[in-house]
Amino acid sequence: MALSDIDQVLAIEQRSFPTPWSKKAFISEITDNIFASYIVVEKGDKIVGYGGMWVFLDEAHITNIAVAPENRRTGIGEFILKQLIATAVAGGAKRMTLEVRASNHAAQRLYEKMGFERKGLRKGYYTDLREDAIIMWKDDLVQEDASGRASSGH
């Protein structure tokens, strides 16, 4: 993700979340946060999805993944997640975590498909609607190579 991508990213963010991140938050993440890594997926010259995470020590924490509503259920979210996992492994991460809204069943299915397990609950984590967050972890972070075979991140 580059600074020039932020306006398109914000448009997706605002259509995806009840309390979207601000432009300032994205700018800070990609210019000031040494632990942050953000990617975008483009279709032609239009950004259709993005994702971000922090990697510190041997852990990665997904901050956000979003796909433009008209491009959902096309594999873009899975592609973003796989890219984040590969980037995390390359950065030395062995585990990955995230929080997901209890009502976001589509995201939960994707994370479970990719090997994440429910490990806890944060009551009222999303203050906008007082919604709970499900804490998910993938404890043995591996990436798939081009042939589809898994390789260890260690």
Assigned token pair, 109? 């299915």
Distance, CA of 77 to CA of 101 (rounded, Å): 16
Which H/E stretch holds residue 113?
helix 105-113
- Residue 112 is classified by DSSP as H
Q: Are 126 and 101 a contacting pair, CB within 8 Å?
A: yes
Would you call 38 a catalytic residue per the annotation? no
CA distances from 146 to 18, 112, 151 (A): 36, 22, 11
Is residue 126 part of the annotated active site? The answer reads no
Dihedral sign, Cα of residue 102, residue 105, residue 111, residue 115:
positive
What are 66's strand-pairing partners?
A: 50
Q: How far apart are the first and last CA of the chain?
A: 27
* Catalytically annotated residue among 13, 29, 111, 144: 111
Q: Which of 13, 29, 38, 99 is catalytic?
A: 99
The set of catalytic residues is 99, 111
